[in-house]
């Protein structure tokens, strides 16, 4: 069935015949990848800007493909999102993240864990309930879990998103707005969302060293977030200069290559001292 589907779509696609075939191959393989446990989670530390201590980690999925090697999310997430595979994928990520968290907590690093979810996940009925069940299964205190939702995901079916995020908050789970600044969240919507953390997109953070407009945007996002009682995380902090500027601007937390690249949790454990855990 996969093959016939492929040739049919190739006919419609015109010039770029390879891309859709490839896309269907990715879909078919990804289905097996989840069953065969080929997905892996890397984790990137989330640090307090003031002292660089790690207080949590963000789970970032990769696919250990048998032929193509370790694939980053852009290679397969779009196919997952458009095929419905994003539901089993997110369920896998969530359970694995909570299971890993139990292990690093037992190893003396009580880091919280952040899990990314797609717009499609929020639209699936019973999403908050599936999160509640996973927390129960692993005995995870809800406040140790943060669900990251991109600003653009909330722009889609806004009413459903507001409701589901409210359900998650009622469970005691933290909600973060990811990639803030590139979407179109209306500010009043932010107020109705039970959001704990706003993550400033890397695009703007990258510009703070030489772009006055990016600096202005970052400053106002920090002010807005604090006004709403949220913490602010700067994504993609790569230089000490950016770190200093962000500290001065009042930003709370950060992630970025300056502090640590995403890695399997066992590697993070080797590189961090329990004393550096916030």
Among 151, 167, 178, 252, binds Ca ion (CB under 5 A): 178
Euclidean distance between CA atoms 117 and 112, whole angstroms? 16
| CB closer to ligand C2E out of 116 and 185 | 116
Find out whether 267 and 235 touch, Cβ atoms under 8 Å.
no
Rounded to 5°, the CA angle 92-133-158 comes to 80
**Residue 65 DSSP SS3:** strand
- In DSSP notation, 84-149 reads TTHHHHHHHHHHHHHHHHHHHHHTT---EEEEEE-HHHHHSTTHHHHHHHHHHHHT--GGGEEEEE
**Least distance CB 266 / ligand C2E (angstroms):** 18
Give the three-state DSSP class for 194: coil
Helix, strand, coil % over all residues of the chain, rounded to 5: 55, 20, 25
Task: Identify what 61 binds: ligand C2E, Ca ion, none; CB under 5 to 8 Å per kind.
Answer: ligand C2E
Which residue, 24 or 164, has its beta carbon nearer to Ca ion? Answer: 164
CA distance linking residue 164 with residue 121, whole number of Å: 10
Q: Which does 238 bind (CB under 5 to 8 A by kind): Ca ion, ligand C2E, none?
A: ligand C2E
Between CA 75 and CA 51 the distance in angstroms is 35
User: Is 197 near Ca ion (CB under 5 A)?
Assistant: no
Q: Which does 71 bind (CB under 5 to 8 A by kind): Ca ion, ligand C2E, none?
A: none
Out of 29, 100, 148, 167, point to the residue binding Ca ion (CB under 5 A). 148
- Between vectors from CA 22 to CA 18 and to CA 24, what angle results, nearest 5°? 125
| Tokens at 107, concatenated | 């190893």
CA–CA gap between residue 261 and residue 273 (Å, rounded)? 16
- Indicate the residue among 6 and 81 with the shorter CB distance to ligand C2E: 81
Q: Could you say which of 116, 121, 140, 243 contacts Ca ion (CB under 5 A)?
A: 116
Residues engaged in binding ligand C2E (CB under 6 A): 44, 59-61, 72-73, 77, 93, 116-118, 178-179, 202, 235-238, 255-257, 262
* Residue whose CB is less far from ligand C2E, 29 or 235: 235
Q: Please choose which of ligand C2E, Ca ion, none residue 73 contacts, taking the beta carbon within 5 to 8 angstroms, the exact cut-off set by kind.
A: ligand C2E
Instruction: Give the span between the Cα atoms of 76 and 25, in whole angstroms.
Output: 10
Identify what 214 binds: ligand C2E, Ca ion, none; CB under 5 to 8 Å per kind.
none
* Binds 45: which of ligand C2E, Ca ion, none (CB < 5-8 Å by kind): none
User: Which lies closer to ligand C2E via its Cβ, residue 77 or residue 135?
Assistant: 77
Q: If residue 253 lies in a helix (H) or strand (E), which one and from where to where?
A: strand 253-254
Q: Which is nearer to ligand C2E, 179 or 214 (CB)?
A: 179
Q: Which does 20 bind (CB under 5 to 8 A by kind): Ca ion, ligand C2E, none?
A: none
Q: How far is the CB of 255 from ligand C2E (least distance, A)?
A: 5
Q: How far is the CB of 58 from ligand C2E (least distance, A)?
A: 7
Return the range that interacts with Ca ion (CB under 5 A); candidates 18-26, 110-118, 135-143, 265-273: 110-118
């Amino acid at each position: 069935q996969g093959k016939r589907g492929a040739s049919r779509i190739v006919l419609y696609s015109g010039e770029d015949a390879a891309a859709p075939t490839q896309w269907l191959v990715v879909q078919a393989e990804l289905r097996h990848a989840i069953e065969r446990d080929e997905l892996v989670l890397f984790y990137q530390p989330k640090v307090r800007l003031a002292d660089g201590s790690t207080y949590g980690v963000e789970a970032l999925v990769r696919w250990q493909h048998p032929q193509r090697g370790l694939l980053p999310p852009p290679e397969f997430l779009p196919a997952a999102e458009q095929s419905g595979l994003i539901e089993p994928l997110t369920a896998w990520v969530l359970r694995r993240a909570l299971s890993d968290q139990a292990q690093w907590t037992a190893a003396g690093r009580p880091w919280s864990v952040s899990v990314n979810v797609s717009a499609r996940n929020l639209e699936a009925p019973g999403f908050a309930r599936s999160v509640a069940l996973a927390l129960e299964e692993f005995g995870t205190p809800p406040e140790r879990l943060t669900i990251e939702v991109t600003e653009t995901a909330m722009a889609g079916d806004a009413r459903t998103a507001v409701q589901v995020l409210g359900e998650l908050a009622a469970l005691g789970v933290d909600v973060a707005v990811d990639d803030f600044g590139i979407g179109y969240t209306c500010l009043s919507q932010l107020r109705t969302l039970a959001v704990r953390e706003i993550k400033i997109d890397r695009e703007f953070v990258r510009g703070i060293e030489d772009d006055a407009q990016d600096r202005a945007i970052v400053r106002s996002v920090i002010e807005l977030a604090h006004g709403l009682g949220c913490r602010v995380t700067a994504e993609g902090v790569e230089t000490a200069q950016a770190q200093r500027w962000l500290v001065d601007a009042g930003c709370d937390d950060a992630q970025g290559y300056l502090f640590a690249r995403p890695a399997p949790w066992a590697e993070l454990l080797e590189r961090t001292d329990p004393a550096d855990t916030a």
